Amino acid sequence: MSVEIVHASDRGAHAVNITIDDGPDPTWTPQVLQVLRDNGVKATFCMVGPQAEAHPGLVRQVVAAGHRLCDHTVSHDTAMDKKPEAYQSQQIIDAERQITKASGGVRPMYYRAPGGAFTPYSRKLAASHGMRPLGWNVDSKDFERPGSAAIISTVEGELTNGPTILFHDAGGDRSQTVEALHTLLPWLKQQGYAFGFPVR
């Protein structure tokens, strides 16, 4: 398992990886799953451990629909790269355990540091647990809720940066994200993009 942060898609050069962070959330994850289902798209869900633990049914729905799981730590601490290794370890390993338990035994394939706060140690630790460190190329900025039109134009404008696109299904009202995905997924298909998973 490589310790390098992956951005590439397993479907090659003209493909995108849809990644969804901070859930699962009982309001928004089902809506995101529905849009993905409607468009026949598979995504990677970067889950926060306690959220997974609180909503195991949702984690299992994500897995059953053919999506992949990613460890997004216990506390979503965007300054964890400044913290001791023991703390980083606890954040990653405890979340891995919580997600795996919630999913019914399906382990996360990736590790995404909150806010991209990776360290050489955390990347190596994740890889040693079979989780590829996962970055992103396109930040949809949906976290800030700028309106679905702004989310759409950000993604369309930044696609040349690379294939891995960051969205959120938790952390507040995600109706704009759902709305943006309704437009973006068919648009990406029209542009000839395939939908893949980050390479492992």
Does the annotation count 21 as an active-site position? yes
Choosing from 22, 168, 173, 182, the catalytic residue is 168
- Between the CA of residue 61 and those of 37, 65, 102, 106, what are the distances in Å? 12, 6, 11, 12
- Between the CA of residue 196 and those of 24, 151, 188, what are the distances in Å? 21, 21, 12
CB 98 within 8 A of CB 55: no
Choosing from 14, 21, 76, 142, the catalytic residue is 21
Radius of gyration of the chain (CA): 15
Question: Which uninterrupted H or E stretch holds 21?
Answer: strand 15-21
Does the annotation count 168 as an active-site position? yes
Which residues are the active-site residues?
21, 168
